[in-house]
Amino acid sequence: MLQQERERVEQDVKHMRGPVERFGSTVVSDGATDGNRRPIINLVDVSPEFVEFVFAMDCTGHTKNARYIADLVTDYIFSLPDPRKVVQVLMDNATRASWPLIEEKCPWVVVGPCEPHVSSLEAGDIMKLPFFKETARQVQVVRKFILNHQKPLVVYLSSRSWQPGSMLHTPEARDYAIDCDLYARVELCLRALAPVIEVLRIADSDGPTASKIQYAKYQAQEKLKRVTVEAGEEPWQPGEYDWEDIMQEVVAIHRYRWDYGYTITQGVGYLLDPEYIDMDQHQDEETMNSFRAFVEKTYLMPAAVAADATDEEQRAYKQARCEVLRQRSACDLQLLEYKLKRGIFARDEVWENAKKISAADFWFMYGQGLKELQLVGMRATAQTSGAGASERGHKLMNVIEDKTRNRLKWDNVESLIIGNNVMNLRKRRKVTYEGHHTPWSEAAEENDGWQDAWREENAAEEARAAELREESIRRAATRSSQLALSAGSRIPPVYDVQAESDSVDTDSVSTRSGRLVRRPVVFS
């Protein structure tokens, strides 16, 4: 019965492939091990408003090398009614050896890495730097100290005049917990990692995000350059660290991972995304080389005929070759029309509507006059940038095959996963469903004014964070006072200021000497 239901839902899927026919799709793949220690590789076909779970294969008895993985992907591509509807393949970085093999068999396909995984690697590289590594170690000490006690809030109210001893018997954890410099270092680490996490949030989606990655990476680079600390307010001993050198290393890591995860789909999507129409991407050599490479993949040259081919076959080959050359040349000329806003692109209402729809829908709606470039634009701007869909398939696999259902045959597990996927696809066919659309940012629209928008947003976030911290401190003080009263002891002071001078500036940040014990201070 389960197999019959699977056959029925697979027929339903065939009638839902409209977005694939228009915009093409991205094939994503990932590997995992299930609860029974079986090596599993799944394959998911992703396009706007359509995510099809193709299969999850039990690879027991097979060596998951580059050739085996490439054959799995290419066999699926050639099984489609039109294999050229597959625009790109995204996989884990561990499978890089299989990428040339896939492109050799399918020259129209762009193969690249999963962008969220690249951002994760970038964050990992940053955390390996000495400053970040040491800060993380100290935070782990405090974290373990708090989790190993039943009354952790008392830690933040300790002072020289009140030390219960039972809670603060670990000197290292006590010193870290009451050291405001540690919290300032944590704040700096978060500020340095925030731009990387923002890119990861954009990329970790099944929606058409490939065209947004390039500008997001540029924004992250500019934000990293502006992460500074005021002279004299460094939360470390003099000469211990140089923040400018630290951030130079962070920016170098960002640029390396930017190049590491770059694909021509990202470059072309950035060039043809209407959100970035007023930017000069056409003056960048790498972007234009990506554009021409993508055009060549979209309009492939016909296969050469044999030497003993008939005159009719040779004539057909020459005609097909001339047509491809015409299409490629037309793309360059039509790109000029688009960038200069000629024809239909000269209308203001076109750009007002562009803010309300996705880039792929923009080209589908307004690209009729530029037929050759329209196909390139729809295929480039409709693709996703991450393989998260395949990883979510593994998560669903773990839900279906849990400890109480660990004896299911793998075919049944796969059928249940596919059935769940089709249920989600049916929801997207409802009238109330709204497609994925990444709203335009004012920063991109104003081109050079994005820094001011980011500063205002960041200031609001910092103000909100400060309010939450103050509220947390008030709650901690109230709770600790109640605990102290119930124990019959006096209420400990929240702050214990023991300064040499008579007057102490309570807004100062100088806590390195240990005389001033107060709440964590955030450096702006």
Residue 52, classed as helix, strand or coil, is: strand
Would you say 2 and 415 are in contact if contact means Cβ atoms under 8 Å apart?
A: yes
Q: Could you state, in chain order, the average pLDDT of each consecutive group of 10 residues for the chain (524 residues)? A: 64 66 89 80 85 83 89 93 93 87 95 94 94 89 70 53 50 63 86 94 90 94 89 72 91 95 95 92 91 96 88 92 96 94 93 92 93 95 89 73 68 70 61 57 50 57 72 68 52 37 37 31 34
Domain parsing of the chain, residue ranges: 2-113+387-437, 120-262+449-517, 264-383
Average pLDDT of the chain, as a whole number: 78
Q: How far is CA 229 from CA 180, 189, 239, in A?
A: 15, 12, 14
Other CB atoms within 10 Å distance of the CB of residue 128: 10
Instruction: Give the H or E element holding residue 288.
Output: helix 285-298
Give me the phi and psi of 507, to 5 degrees please: -95, 0
Instruction: Tell me the per-residue pLDDT of 412-453, one tens digit each, with 9 for 90 and over.
Output: 777 777 666 666 666 655 544 455 566 666 555 444 444 455
Q: Could you tell me the CATH superfamily of domain 2-113+387-437?
A: Ribonuclease H-like superfamily/Ribonuclease H (3.30.420.10)
Backbone angles phi, psi at 39, to 5 degrees: -75, 125
> pLDDT tens digits, residue range 450-508?
445 545 656 676 677 677 767 766 776 676 566 555 544 433 343 333 333 343 343 33
